[in-house]
Structure 1
């Protein structure tokens, strides 16, 4: 049930594939995004997709979801083969269920999405990406795809790359300036993206997606997301 970008005179309909972490359980991501989705309106469609690796519920979510339930991650953070398998799974999913107009990634899911994008652009420089925009929420810095194939995990840094690695894609980057779980891990991804097509918003909600109670943060998130959707709709 994929939707396509509508003409510029109309509101863009985006069908998003959503990545989530540290507990990528569909209902969690759906709940965390509910306030932002409400402000964006009902013209958008979303798919919430779980990981496959069993994981305990993140401590900061214990007050909101049953801690004894089973939750899932996309990969083991310390395993290059696990990350490569997650990239393969994502590629297969997009080929099977796509096309999609956008991708959303939170935390580990953002790392997976960004690593997938960079790997695709390196491996298929003349082949379009399977989506038109990307939204990164408290994303962890992407891993170097070439090092993953050698069994190593190295986070990409803009100062050593020499040029933006994510080109031809409208991106939004949202993170907490007081993120104490993965401090300093969202900024490098922002710097690795095309300066003409990226935008960002900083909030004070830590390593999370702002909830409805943080009204100003929600409105700030929605503003930059809409800007990215407009760029995607115009083919920027």
Structure 2
């Protein structure tokens, strides 16, 4: 089976390979991972340059719907040349691209196979601009939560915060807690349809972007959805317990996609 891997902004395919190395060791050896680089050179994501050397990449230079659509066209070309893919594994900005690709496909080419048969979203949400263009209703509360969480992430993920506080830099819900349950948060965005491939949603309760991950899970088909809170921040924890859980969810997604 073949897995498309979409990294976060200001990192790279090689960095994403390193970030998921712990749970990858718990997977079968016959899985082929395709770690691609975004098409744009980028500054390093906050804290990344402490551990990883350049180059760093992004999937777009701004978050406009037009930019995301252009990168979707680029990704479609990559898939046509290098696919098909059974599964997509995505982190942060990669989740925006992957979820947008599935939505654009459902709107524009529903008669064709989806760009991948199942999706695993890690610490990421959807583009609210894309959702609104697709006919979704994004509440004012969801939009404000998105804005505040981006600001909080920018403050908590800096290199200085990492060096000074380590894992304690993540305050997540302590500063952004809405008091809402996951089910209540999902109701902040209403959809005319849902992403219909099997999906796994992995997010951390200390991640300022936690609500974005929950919102994304809400626009995916509930009967084909699994969620997991790893308890950390905007990261992929490498503890044995988290790695085992992610590996199990990965295997579930593989089984749901019909891949061997």
TM-score greater than 0.5 by the shorter chain: yes
| TM-score with structure 1 setting the length | 0.81
Instruction: Report which stretch shifted further, 77-86 or 88-97.
Output: 77-86
Which of 190, 197, 209 aligns to 1:161? It is: 190
User: Relative to total residues, which structure has the larger helix share, 1 or 2?
Assistant: 2
Q: CA deviation at 1:205?
A: 2.5
Task: Give runs of aligned pairs for residues 1-236 of structure 1, distance below 5 A.
Answer: 14-66=1-53, 69-145=54-130, 159-167=188-196, 169-180=197-208, 182-211=209-238, 214-233=239-258
Q: Is the 8 A contact 1:115 1:144 kept in 2?
A: no
Q: 1:128 to 1:144 in 2, by over 3 A?
A: farther
Q: CA deviation at 1:161?
A: 2.9
- Equivalent pairs counted in the alignment come to 213
Structure 1 unmatched ranges of 5 or more = 1-13
Q: CA deviation at 1:140?
A: 2.2
| TM-score with structure 2 setting the length | 0.74
CA distance in 2, matches of 1:139, 1:171: 13
Q: Deviations over 1:98-150 (max 9, x none)?
A: 1111111110001100011011011122322132111111112234547569x
Structure 2 unmatched ranges of 5 or more = 147-185
